[in-house]
Structure 1
Amino acid sequence: MSTQTPSRRREAITGLLFLLPVLVIFGAFKFIPILGAAGMSLTRYRLNGDVTFIGGDNYARLLADANFWHSVGVTFLYVALFVPATIVVSLGGAMLLNAVAGGATGIFRALLFVPYLCSFVLAGIVWSWIFRTDGPVNAALHELQLGPVHFLTGKQLLVLASLAVVSVWKGFGYSMLVFLAGLKAQPAEVYEAAVLDGASPRQVFLRITLPLLKPVFFFVLVMETIIGFQVFDTIYVMTGGGPARASFSITYFLYDAGFKFLDFGYAAAIGVALFLIVLVLSILQRRWLEEKETA
């Protein structure tokens, strides 16, 4: 027998009605395409519309493909560079903004958020010029007798680090605002008590700020990990997957399979594999943070 009162049932129905447009949009543009991609990955899909069901052949081919495993390694290395750098820069920017008093906060917030509004293509074009052998960075290094540095045509670690710098510059503004909201929501009396007890700024940051930011930290960590694994625009504009496939990420591999070789079933299998990798990593990150909370 239901214990819900009529008023509670009405509230629940009203809430569902408000959520319905979002659920419909999510289903139409997220859930259904995911199911469609999963179904396509089980077929040999031709551009002329011919579809042949082949079961798990695309996945067996994927597991045996050296190019796939190479792209996985490249993507993990890129994410290992991009995500920590984004979190550090975003949190640092948020703490600086949180320390600024008065109307200046809004001005600095807008200035730091501007790169986020720029497209990845435009950012890639500008930074390609900045990183050129005869670009401004190498010109400055030349004056210091340290150049030239081949940022986009050198060793893999340097190339991926250069791409990560561009992505961090372009995207840290969003996570910065998320961290800033988390900082603004923290109770001031906790900090006042810590100061009265003689806590140093370092102790306040490690013992109060970071623990209170754990839910925000988890959200930023998951979101930036997803963004890192989906990197494509910057690579396409700046390196084209090179040099010698040094920046050949999973999404670039998917692009090659689908739009260069027109192997849409195989490309869908790559997309499903990417989805599963990100899902597993998100679960592992959640468990890691839960263990940190209980430790």
Structure 2
Amino acid sequence: MRHRLRDPITGLLFVLPMLVLFLMFRIFPTLAAAGMSLTNWNIGGEWSFTGADNYVRLVNDPNFWSSLRVTLVYTAIYVPLVVLVSLGTALLLNAVVFLRGLFRGILFLPYVTSFVFAGIIWRWIYEFDGLLNGLLAKVELGPVAFMERADLVLPALAVVSCWKGFGYSMLILLAGLKAIPGTYLEAATVDGANAWQRFRSITLPLLKPALFFVLVIETISSFQVFDTIYVMTGGGPAKASYTLIYGIFERGFRFWEFGYAATWGMVLFAVVLVVSLIQRRIVGKEDT
């Protein structure tokens, strides 16, 4: 028995530090938030049990439904954009032979910059007399008030987040492309398949596990967008960029309603879980 348990126990000891960190900073806070959502918790640490009152209040809160709609619209814009950009750059890097490491480092550089720094730079680019409007004015298409128009603010923010975050997904997809055996593509070329046919019939199916992973993490990232909105719009104009995370921030750290903020957080957790399961059903299936 000792001999049979030696390998599992040894493996457990190796993963124990990360397991402790995961329990401390992921599982326990989630359970604590679930419990806090059933209370009226204030900044002084005093609380009283309220049961489902916070959830009833949330159902009747127009700010919640508005923020949920804004978050879903933002996700619908951001996720396809960042996946397409990441996939396109990964395909280009996979085809590059000369100075591939340099190009990969340059494309990954925005990912390691601060969201606050990126927000400040892009706010200047989007300003009425900023760089982008200066270029648009030269071709008589501007200026355009990107940050002041409710119909343009979410696409503008999605572009900023895509520029900031596509580098990580690009590396994941590039690793997936490197794992595809070259003999498959060579055989398809010999059989007369063109580039699009090779991509559709060989590259894309074999890339599905990496693509599913990127789709899930970018969806979670879109539901958790906060830094860019806080720096660039503050939820405006007219709450056109007022997302769920920004609502949680306001409830918790502006109105000091920690119990109600935790309720928003638990609903956000449920929404992300449902969306991830739907993606798993459509894209992932058994082969991931």
Superposition deviation, residue 275 in structure 1: 0.6
Per-residue Cα deviation, 1:179-236 (whole angstroms, up to 9, x for no partner): 0000001101101100000001000011111100111011000000000000000000
Instruction: Give the distance between the partners of 1:20 and 1:49, measured in 2 at CA.
Output: 32
Superposition deviation, residue 9 in structure 1: 2.9
Superposition deviation, residue 6 in structure 1: 5.8
Q: Mind listing any 5+ residue stretches in structure 2 that lack a counterpart?
A: none
Q: Paired residue for 1:15?
A: 11
Instruction: Give the distance between the partners of 2:2 and 2:253, measured in 1 at CA.
Output: 55
Q: Paired residue for 1:212?
A: 206
Q: Paired residue for 2:76?
A: 80
Superposition deviation, residue 46 in structure 1: 1.2
Superposition deviation, residue 50 in structure 1: 1.4
Which of structure 1's runs of 4+ aligned residues deviate more than 6 A? none
Instruction: Give the distance between the partners of 1:107 and 1:221, measured in 2 at CA.
Output: 26
Most deviating of 14-23 and 274-283: 14-23
Give 3-state SS (helix, strand or coil) of 2:40's partner.
strand
Aligned counterpart in structure 2 of residue 232 of structure 1, from 222, 226, 230: 226
Amino acid paired to 1:74: V
Preserved CA contact (<8 Å) 2:150 2:238:
no
Most deviating of 282-291 and 124-133: 282-291
Preserved CA contact (<8 Å) 2:212 2:284:
no
Superposition deviation, residue 145 in structure 1: 0.9
Does residue 256 of the first structure (1) align with residue 250 of the second (2)?
Answer: yes
Q: Paired residue for 1:120?
A: 115
Identify if the C-alpha distance between structure 1 residues 110 and 291 changes in structure 2 by more than 3 Å, giving closer, same or farther. Answer: closer
Instruction: Give the distance between the partners of 2:242 and 2:286, measured in 1 at CA.
Output: 34
Does residue 68 of the first structure (1) align with residue 59 of the second (2)?
Answer: no
Does residue 144 of the first structure (1) align with residue 136 of the second (2)?
Answer: no
Q: Paired residue for 1:176?
A: 170
Q: Paired residue for 1:45?
A: 41
Alignment RMSD: 1.3
Q: Paired residue for 2:106?
A: 111
Per-residue Cα deviation, 1:226-277 (whole angstroms, up to 9, x for no partner): 0000000000000000000000000011111111111110000001110110
Q: Mind listing any 5+ residue stretches in structure 1 that lack a counterpart?
A: none
